[in-house]
Structure 1
Amino acid sequence: MSFLIVSPGRDPQPWIEALKNQHPGLDIYVYPEDHNKEEVEFALAWNHPRGLFKNYPNLKVVASMGAGVDHITSDKELPEHVKITKVVDDQLTTDMSDFVLSLVMDHTRRLSIYKDQKKEKSWNRTPYKRPRNVTVGIMGVGVLGSAVGEKLSANGFNVLGWAKSEKDKQDMNTYCGQEGLEEFLSKSNVLVCLLPLTSKTENILNADVFEKLPKGAYVINVARGEHLVEQDLLEMIGSGHLSGAALDVFREEPLPENHPFWENSEILITPHIASVTSAESVMPQIIENYERMKEGEPLKNVVERDKGY
């Protein structure tokens, strides 16, 4: 029985070391090095080549290296019997909530403006908004969305949540389904996307959604680049309906040098760093699922394939 790591473009060494620390003696293969595909029952993956896993006859589990799983679920050739697991990690959750709070504070206090003013040696005071006068709407109120809502609420912001189905959350009023979306959007001065990427949520950040936000609203996307219709965002910022956006995720990463987002002063760009997985932090839960697989026990953090998360 062997353990396979597949992470094109990502350094596998921290994961190899964490695996060896947690499970000495484990046979570890790293794609694309030569190995016996019949021996592999468990794979740890990030952005694997499409169709790769259909070539592993005894594969039982594909574990994501991070909280996102769309890079696995989007592979239509992944055998139906293979289980998919995701990472649920307190450090990832804290990192995400801190990051979103920082973006919201940067926007409401207009801090980025002063970087530009410094270049011009300009001494101008800009009006800002206080948290109690700002409502942040969070699309997606799972583990990450709930933590973000709790952090924002603790810092004085009014927080709303929206999800596909009804949720009961202590730190925010929640709306659900298409029937609740319009009211949710109409009250959101800042819109944060933390939705999982599925066929139903792809392109959800579009002109129809933006038009329902209050004039001057701000958009934060820390979920997936495929959630956003890029041209709609540019047009809505250009028209003045949106005041700007903070984007940490993109359809193509790294963002191409000729992309119009680079030239738009109202769009803050960060290189997918909102919440970065630590191999050492998440390895215990991955190893636990490996042991559970060997013993035929139920796995933790299993993805529901029909939902995509």
Structure 2
Amino acid sequence: MAILLATDFGAAELALWSELLQTELPAETLVSDRMDCDPGVIDIAIVANPPPGALSCLPNLRLIQSLWAGVDTLLRDPTLPAGVPIARMVDPAMNQAMAQTALWAVLSLQRDFFTYAAQQRAMQWLPHPQRRADEVSVAVLGLGQMGQAAARRLAGNGYRVSGWSTREVAVPDVATGSGEAALARVLGDASIVVNLLPLTPATTGLFDRTRFAQMRRGAGFVNLARGAQVVDADLLAALDSGQLRHAVLDVFHSEPLPAGHRFWTHPQVTLLPHVAAQTDPRSAAPIAASNVHALREGRALQHLVDRRRGY
């Protein structure tokens, strides 16, 4: 049998992943072009943004292992084989990278570092009152692996952290809730809102004028999840009106962000090019390989996706 590596990687990145995966799976045959072998011998696909249709017509496919934490793009492919288990990437290194980014964003909002950066460009010397971390309430929306890591890191740095998720989740030192009433309460209580929710039909367009109006006036907004969860025009209106003080955005509807988009030049927006928590091949390749070994040995697969929930 063979493993198909179906990705949108360039040649150098594909070569790196192939080398690392082959090291972890020395007995396996890896192919990066399904035309290089009989489709019937492919029983596992390791994927990262595979082209639409790349996984169709593989009659013996038994596992789809994603190299990404989010699988929303993969699930939107109408040719995705039904009934084949899908596993997403859950990498402790990625969780910690996301927690670091969340801490950087919250700390920068708390201590006015984005404001000071703008003042430097304008050659202004203007100190601002310094808030303590325990005076800042932070809401983390989405309490999966990354959300929990971020919430714990923020709480460990002295912030008053609350968390919200679609299902009730307990996190040490974090007040958690679920449901519509709890979401409105969490948003209204927070000085800073950090979004780490998965992209599902329920969360698409979640952050619109209604949600922004529920937030405390002058709050900060940090989106590290998916761009499709935000209505861009409503976010810009909330920033322009002062309802929101500043937004830190790592993800967008279209990536790269189009050159003419107002986010590029808005004085109250800080941008990242979708780098809050990148997959590190050095740690992710062994994790992907572990599920291959589990399948071969008849053991339970890890981090399986519930297609109905979308994550």
Match in the other structure for 1:47: 49
Q: Greater CA deviation, 125-134 or 190-199?
A: 125-134
Percent identical: 32
Match in the other structure for 2:155: 153
What secondary structure is seen at the aligned counterpart in 2 of 1:174? Answer: strand
Contact kept in structure 1, 2:7 and 2:51, CA below 8 Å: no
What secondary structure is seen at the aligned counterpart in 1 of 2:17? Answer: helix
- 1:46-71 C-alpha deviation (Å, 9 max, x unpaired): 11222331221111111111211112
Q: What is the CA–CA distance in structure 2 between the aligned matches of 1:251 and 1:9, rounded to whole Å?
A: 21
What secondary structure is seen at the aligned counterpart in 1 of 2:139? Answer: strand
Structure 1 length as normaliser, TM-score? 0.95
Match in the other structure for 1:294: 296
Contact kept in structure 1, 2:52 and 2:77, CA below 8 Å: yes
RMSD, aligned CA: 1.5
Match in the other structure for 1:119: 121
Q: What is the CA–CA distance in structure 1 between the aligned matches of 2:305 and 2:263, rounded to whole Å?
A: 33
Q: What is the CA–CA distance in structure 1 between the aligned matches of 2:158 and 2:117, rounded to whole Å?
A: 26
Match in the other structure for 1:175: 177
Match in the other structure for 1:253: 255
Match in the other structure for 2:241: 239
How is 1:11-26 mapped onto 2 (pairs within 5 angstroms)?
11-26=13-28
What secondary structure is seen at the aligned counterpart in 2 of 1:54? Answer: coil
Measure how far apart 1:272 and its partner are.
Answer: 0.8
| Aligned with 2:278 (options 265, 276, 279) | 276
Question: What number of residue pairs does the alignment pair up?
Answer: 309
Q: Greater CA deviation, 112-121 or 196-205?
A: 112-121
Contact kept in structure 2, 1:22 and 1:283, CA below 8 Å: yes
- Structure 1 stretches of 4+ with a deviation exceeding 6 A read none
- 1:214-242 C-alpha deviation (Å, 9 max, x unpaired): 00011101011111111110011111101
How is 1:203-242 mapped onto 2 (pairs within 5 angstroms)?
203-242=205-244
Measure how far apart 1:250 and its partner are.
Answer: 0.9
Q: Greater CA deviation, 109-118 or 14-23?
A: 109-118
Amino acid at match of 1:263: T
Measure how far apart 1:98 and its partner are.
Answer: 0.7
Measure how far apart 1:101 and its partner are.
Answer: 0.2
What secondary structure is seen at the aligned counterpart in 1 of 2:103? Answer: helix
Measure how far apart 1:32 and its partner are.
Answer: 6.6
| Aligned with 1:74 (options 62, 76, 87) | 76
| Aligned with 1:108 (options 110, 122, 139) | 110
Contact kept in structure 2, 1:7 and 1:31, CA below 8 Å: no
Q: What is the CA–CA distance in structure 1 between the aligned matches of 2:263 and 2:36, rounded to whole Å?
A: 41
Question: Does 1:57 find its partner at 2:59?
Answer: yes
What secondary structure is seen at the aligned counterpart in 2 of 1:24? Answer: coil
Q: What is the CA–CA distance in structure 2 between the aligned matches of 1:34 and 1:232, rounded to whole Å?
A: 48
Residue ranges of structure 2 left out of the alignment (5+ in a row):
none
Measure how far apart 1:114 and its partner are.
Answer: 2.4
Q: What is the CA–CA distance in structure 2 between the aligned matches of 1:25 and 1:77, rounded to whole Å?
A: 30
What secondary structure is seen at the aligned counterpart in 2 of 1:244? Answer: strand
Q: What is the CA–CA distance in structure 2 between the aligned matches of 1:55 and 1:128, rounded to whole Å?
A: 60
Contact kept in structure 2, 1:48 and 1:71, CA below 8 Å: no
